[in-house]
Amino acid sequence: MFSDKANSIFADVIDKYHLINTVDQPFSNPYDKDSNLLEHLLYRKCWIDTVQWHYEDIIRDPNIDPVAALRLKRQIDASNQDRTDMVEYVDSYFLEKYKDALAKPDATINTESPAWGVDRLSILALKVYHMNEEATRENASEAHRDACQAKLDVLLEQRVDLSTAIDQLLNDISEGTKYMKVYKQMKMYNDDELNPVLRGGK
């Protein structure tokens, strides 16, 4: 199943990040883009999400220096752009993979593309990892650990459901009962011509 592969890669990424556990550590992708394109994309996607997760922790420090906070905000903006770009790359992979699948006359389109489901699965892997940390944190109260374990149980159930739904969607696309399109995000606030502030209000 696709989701088994994705969840395994996401777990590897998160474990690898936490060996050093700093947002400015070097990145290397163990999967070759030419021979293992899907794995390469999934690994890179989750790495971006993992670094951004920790950016979001850092910027919420109430004592953060304002200049550092602005610099970090710019990094988060760039990371968000990378994240959506990776979603489009993953969807383009699936579009190419299923290009010969003939959509049946009554085929329908899904509310989200496969890669946006993958995006949610990657974030869910991070939630599971960090909620498990809290559920097992020795210096936390028993009440805290119990509450986090209850949340972790829900997250694990969500992962099963989301994984099943993604696998079903891919199967439906392959059988022609669903079809997919890749819509570019067309973000406006990063574009010098579309953001009135960046173009000087003209």
- Note the pLDDT tens digit of each residue in 83-139: 999 999 999 999 999 999 999 999 999 999 999 999 999 999 999 999 999 999 999
Q: According to the model, what pLDDT value does residue 193 have?
A: 72
pLDDT tops 70 at residue 201: no
Instruction: Find, among 153, 3, 187, 156, the residue nearest to 77 by Cα.
Output: 187
Q: Is residue 151 in some structural domain?
A: yes
Q: Is residue 57 in some structural domain?
A: yes
Q: Is residue 184 in some structural domain?
A: no
Query: Does residue 83 contact residue 38 with C-beta atoms inside 8 Å?
Result: no
Q: Is residue 195 in some structural domain?
A: no
As for how many domains the chain has, the answer is 1
Q: Is residue 33 in some structural domain?
A: yes
Q: Is residue 192 in some structural domain?
A: no
Per-residue pLDDT band for 26 (boundaries 50, 70, 90) equals very high
DSSP H stretches of helix in 21-141: 37-59, 66-97, 114-135
pLDDT tops 80 at residue 195: no
Q: According to the model, what pLDDT value does residue 196 have?
A: 72
**What pTM, to 2 d.p., does this model score?**
0.91
Would you state the structure tokens that stand for residue 168, as one six-digit string?
A: 């079903």
- Per the structure, the complete domain to which residue 60 belongs is given by 2-179
Q: Is residue 200 in some structural domain?
A: no
Q: Is residue 191 in some structural domain?
A: no
